[in-house]
Amino acid sequence: MTRSRPHRTLRTGPVTALAFGLAAFLALATARPAGADLPAGDEREAGAAPAVPLAAAASASDDDVPFRISLPTVADVEAWREAGFRIQLGYGYGAMFGVNGTPNATTQTFLLRAGARLDDDWSLLASFAYAAARGGVVGLRFMGTIDPTWHLGDHLELALGAGFGGLVEGFTGRDDPDVAQRDALVASYTYPNTDHLLRSCTGIGAAALLRLGWAIVLGPLSAGVISLQADGQWIACEESLGRVEPDTARPIVRRQWWPHLGGNVTWTFAWR
């Protein structure tokens, strides 16, 4: 019978431990440090992240800057004081108020103003307004005026204008003021008052306005103007009867004078 030999455990003595320690120390001492092979002038820490280019850094920082609208400069404001051509386009909302029995209406207006800045204090503008009227008046209201404008500083302005105005009405649903007269007239007739209104008013007359505005400079070439305007018209309304005078062959019409006062809030964009 074969007898098994007992397993012996390897025991590490002091000499063996000292040999292992000396070998580890020599390995660390002879190891080449990281980055030792880098050429002169390119000494960087091993494992360091590559440097970010300046352009990329600037781009990254620009993305973090909040958006801001550029305000007009002093030079922009001074440019609007210079003499030269001006044009404005805009919109207005307001009302027209009848006087002595003429009807009221609300208006939405398209505005065109063109002219010139004469000097630091004065401009001369031609204003044209075309308004859709709804209410007691159903149709188109128009006005054209010449407006000397006084500039009270860089923003406030005051204009006084005079010119022509008119109305163009279609079917309104108003009753005929005198049916018997309509058939009996052999010549044109003008009503002395507005106690009984014509069925429709189409005519032209005199107009005037007073406007107070506040200009907001947006840049060297553009600006915005918000205005409060009061105006008035005196219109010679005419209604054709569809016949002619037997002696002169001129159309037979019935006339009536319609006075109106009006008010508008307007916003226009201006260019120079």
Residues near 90 by Cβ (< 8 Å), separated by ≥ 6?
Answer: 110, 111, 113, 225, 266, 267, 268, 269
User: What is the structure's pLDDT at 240?
Assistant: 87
> Which residue in the block uniquely carries the two structure tokens 């007739």?
189
Tell me the residue ranges of DSSP E strands in the chain: 84-98, 105-117, 122-135, 139-152, 156-169, 189-190, 202-217, 222-244, 251-271
Whether residue 127 contacts residue 111, with contact meaning beta carbons closer than 8 Å, is answered with yes
pLDDT recorded at residue 9: 45
100 dihedral zone (left: phi>0; alpha: psi -120 to 50; beta): left
The token duo for 183 is 């058939």
| Domains of the chain, start order | 77-271 (2.40.160.20)
Pairing of strands 105-117, 222-244: unpaired
pLDDT of residue 14: 53
Cα separation, 109 vs 251, in Å, equals 32
pLDDT in tens, the chain (272 residues): 444 444 444 454 554 555 555 555 555 555 555 554 545 545 444 444 455 455 554 554 555 656 555 556 678 888 899 999 999 999 999 999 999 999 999 999 999 999 999 999 999 999 999 999 999 999 999 999 999 999 999 999 999 999 999 999 988 888 888 887 888 888 899 999 998 899 889 999 999 999 999 999 999 999 999 999 999 999 999 988 888 888 888 899 999 999 999 999 999 999 99
Q: How far apart are CA 149 and CA 124, in angstroms?
A: 6
Distances (CA, A) of 139 to 107, 148, 229: 10, 29, 21
Contact 143, 167 (CB under 8 A): no
| pLDDT score recorded for residue 7 | 46
